[in-house]
Structure 1
Amino acid sequence: MSTLTLDTELKNRIREIVADVLEIELDELEESSNFEDAYGADSIVVIEILARFERSLNISIPQNAVDGLTSLGAAYQIVAENVAEPADRG
C-alpha cells in the first residue's frame, strides 16, 4: 500500500477541527501528541472529532476509526484513507 499524502490546505483544516474540538490553540497541537494524555480527550471527544471530519470534509469514516484516532498524525492518516477511498458501501 502506498503512503497517502494530504495537501497543506487539507492538513490545516484537519488541525483547525482538532484544535477546535479539543478547545486548544493551534500552536498547542503537536502531530505526535496523544489526544488523551496531552489534551485530556476521552472517547466522546474523539467521536466528536470524527463527526466534524465527516461534516466539514464531506467524507464517511468507519466507526472503528475511533480506536485509531489517538493523535494529529493518526487523524491525517484516517482522513487520507477516507478521502482516497470514499465510502461506496451500498
Structure 2
Amino acid sequence: MSRRITSEMVEIRGGQKRIEEGQKEVRGTIKEIRKESNKLKRDTDLLTKQSAANQLRLDLMFEIVKARAENDSAKDARLTQTLRELMA
C-alpha cells in the first residue's frame, strides 16, 4: 500500500511540475504579448499625431491655393509663413 502511495505521490509531483512549467511558459507569453501591445500602442499614437500634422499642412496648402485663386496676397503670405513655420 505504501509503495502505491509513494508511486502516486511521485506521479502527482511530476504532474505538478508540468503544470508549473506550463504556467511559467504562459506567463512569459503574456509578458511578450503585453510588450508588443505597448509597442503597437506607441506606434499607433505616433501615426495619429503624424496624420494630424499632415492634415493641418494639407489644409493650409488648400487655403493658400484658394487665397492665390482669389488674388488675396496678404492671406497668401500669412498662410505661407504659417506653413513654413510648421515645416521647420
Structure 1-normalised TM-score? 0.25
The structure carrying a bigger helix percent of its residues is 2
TM-score in terms of structure 2 length: 0.26
